[in-house]
Amino acid sequence: MAFLAAVALYDRLTGRPPTYEPVSGTTALDTGALPWETAPDPRPASCGGLPAKWLVIDWDAAEWDILLPLLERGEMPHLEALLRRASYGSLATFLPTISPAIWTTIATGVPPDQHGIRHFYNQRPRLARWWNRIVNLGRLERRLYSNAHRRAPAIWNLLSERDEPVMVVGYHNTFPVEEVEGLMVSNYLAQDSVSTLLDMKKGELGDDADLSSSLVYPPEKLADVLEIHQRLMDELPRAVRDFVAIDDEDELRDFLRKAQHLDPEGDQRPYFLTRAWLYDQVAAEVAETFYERLDPTLAIVHFQSLDWAAHHFLYFDRPEAFEKFGWDEATYARLDSQIPLYEDTVVAFHRYADEWLGRLVALTDESTGILIVSDHGTGPGPDPDLPGFHDDAPPGVIVLSGPGIRSGHRVEGATIYDVLPTLMASLDAPVAKDLPGRVLQEVFCPTAWAPQDQISIASYREGEAFAPPISAPTLRQDVARELESLGYLD
């Protein structure tokens, strides 16, 4: 009893919750004037009115320290063209930099202690974890945070209530999906947690209504989405060549064999490289397929590959940045032996993201605003097996372009809390007064938006507490292995 009391006291003294205050930080964007600031697009976007629609492109872990050198070398032409007619800047995030918590904050406008998603899984007090290991013979049961645990309305809920069509594809923590006015495709669709579905025939999908309703809304669209997924699985061997330097067919087969399963004790890079492409290619092609059919007021397409590329391959992009960690010679030799394979991987995934930026923007019309946003940046870290690091909360990026948006304007002081109120204001929708963020009014042309014209309400959560009408799923072991490999599970 004395031991249990001591553990409980230790928990209380050391388990102080985070404040979720935005963290300031500098990036390569702060070093001086950029080409598109001194020579903006001579044909800037019209300032006659605000966007009637938005295409939001999430680049998980994108940061200026990586983007700017690529832009200077002409590696990202679609982003460069957008920047010449955009407002842009760094986007302050918070600690801890846990993606589901941050992306849910971006979608809801409120911190994790209000929306309820604090991590990938429910981190119980140390005493509870200790006891759980005892009763489970050493194995810790983890409870995955899911969309069912969210306790604040997201922007897709707010717009659906106004009968505005939305399309949300691959967004963090959207499993299970919920009913929206439009389309929602879960972020877990491209993971092993549902890979067995690929063996099902189209005619059999209707027999599993529970599964269908968890992955895609409306569920009758699941068959179309899975057809895309299956086709891309067949294209995977060809696509891999764009991200890893393999010419020999036998070497490629060996690489793909290693990529089939996640080996906790082995080389995990083939697995995450192929999953990064598959995850994003499914999301992007689904968005491209359904965008014109839905003509959504808000379309959100989430790209995960930049985060996974940084986590696993950043060393090969800039090995000199890791000399400061003083690893042993064997570790450096092991990593250096893989440089010929992976030295272009990080750049290749950025070129890939830029290509999809161009394809998706081409679907929009002149009334559509474009927003690029990331949850945090990434830098060199002390783990040689997971060299991409963001525990110190490097800033993310924000880029806004479209009608009524200023061209060549540097945004200062933006935080992840500002995304939702800015989008709502631009769509002439109410902005809640109790949100911690602000409308980024400086990105709007003065003739397009005025603060005194903004519709305000007290709160988006008046009355009964918000909860999506869906059931919480069980954390599958294959999903748990992926999270452990990315350093998110202890």
C-alpha distances (whole Å) from 79 to each of 7, 98, 227, 405 are: 52, 26, 30, 16
Whether the pLDDT of residue 121 is over 80: the answer is: no
pTM: 0.89
Residue 157 in domain:
yes
Burial 391-412 (b: 16+ CB within 10 A, else e): eebbbbbbbbbbbbbbbbbebe
Name the pLDDT band for 48 (thresholds 50, 70, 90). Answer: confident
Q: For 360-403, what is each residue's pLDDT tens digit? A: 999 999 999 999 999 999 999 999 999 999 999 999 999 999 99
DSSP secondary structure letters along 124-165:
--HHHHHHHHHHTTTPPP--B--GGG--S--HHHHHHHTT--
Answer whether residue 298 is part of any domain: yes
Q: C-alpha angle 309/271/230, rounded to 5°?
A: 105
Average pLDDT over residues 139-162: 85
The span from the CA of 338 to the CA of 415, in Å, is 37
Which of 486 and 328 is assigned the larger pLDDT?
A: 328
Give the CATH number, domain containing residue 339.
3.40.720.10
Residue 1 lies in a domain: no
Closest-CA residue to 271 (of 312, 234, 300, 310): 312
What is the pLDDT at residue 475? 45
Identify any residues that bridge with 168 across adjacent strands, giving them in sequence order. 184, 300
Amino acid at 348: A
**Banded pLDDT at 486 (limits 50, 70, 90):** very low
Q: Does some domain include residue 30?
A: yes
Which residue range(s) make up the domain with 186? 22-485
Domain membership flag for residue 203: yes
Is residue 138 in a domain? Answer: yes
Q: How far apart are the first and last CA of the chain?
A: 26
333-370: per-residue pLDDT in tens?
999 999 999 999 999 999 999 999 999 999 999 999 99
Cα–Cα dist 282/207, whole Å: 23
Q: What is the pLDDT of residues 61-108, one digit of tens each?
A: 999 999 999 999 999 999 999 999 999 999 999 999 999 999 999 999
Greater confidence (140 vs 428) lies with 428
Higher pLDDT, 242 or 452: 242
Domain-located, residue 5:
no
Could you give the number of structural domains in the chain?
1
| Domain presence at residue 169 | yes
What angle do the packed helices 126-135 and 2-14 form, to 10 degrees? Answer: 140
pLDDT above 70 coverage of the chain, percent: 80
| pLDDT at res. 194 | 38
